[in-house]
Amino acid sequence: MNHTVSAEQPLLAIDTSTQWLSLALRHNGHTRLFHQETGNRQSELILPQITTLLDEAGLTVRELAAIAYAQGPGTFTGLRIGAGVAQGLAAPFGIPLIPVPCLDAVASLCPGQTAVLAATDARMGEVFYAWFNTQTQQRLSDYQVGKADEIRLPENLSGSLNPDGISGIGNAFALPEPPPFPGRSDMPTAEHYLALTASGRYPAVSAAEAELLYVRNKVALTAAEQAARKGAA
């Protein structure tokens, strides 16, 4: 589905990929933002807060030109809440959905850089990560999950880059064992998802076609696997 949202059209963005509930509504050049650490209360708060943003803007759901949502990778339950609400709002009115990968939003916090490592906490001793060139708006690696200390430069960067030229970004850099590159632990808000959506680089889909981006097939370890991992550590 080809769909471009103009700057004048109302656009809602939903990010529930972390312990934060982040919502942004753009309308007539003005952006309203709700961004709060809510833990496991995302499902309880998301619809009332969306209603509040719409009421403040004098809008109804049916007037939205599109809804952007955090596609993943991120917390399993949070991603499902955000995508489910986006689908529920969009389906009755045929509103297009625009899935935006979470690591793309993280990388966008380092604009104009040739080597950006976006890395976020994946729990279970691992991180989600990908490499980007935000100067050319290109992703340089697959979306991956693994141990932070095992992250390496992709082949298309290695050998041609001074380590000082790497910009690391994401909450993985606040972990006790962060990735082995310089970085800061900033994370995006739903407002950054709005900006990426407005770029036109992310295709729209119908509510029925909306999907999540998982890079970890297994979302939980059994008790025996946890014990084995602790023993190995």
pLDDT digits (tens, 9 = 90+) for 167-199: 999 999 999 999 999 999 999 999 999 999 988
Q: Residue 221: its pLDDT value, please?
A: 43
Token pair 């690696």 is found at: 141
- Coil, strand or helix at 108: coil
Average confidence score pLDDT of the chain: 90
Residues in the chain: 233
Buried b (16+ CB within 10 A) or exposed e, 43-52: beebeebbee
Which DSSP category does 92 fall into? G
Query: What pLDDT is recorded for position 158?
Result: 62
**What is the per-residue pLDDT for 219?**
46
Q: How far apart are CA 22 and CA 53, in angstroms?
A: 12
- The pTM score is 0.89
Number of Cβ within 10 Å of residue 216's Cβ equals: 17
Check: CB of residue 38 under 8 Å from CB of residue 230: no
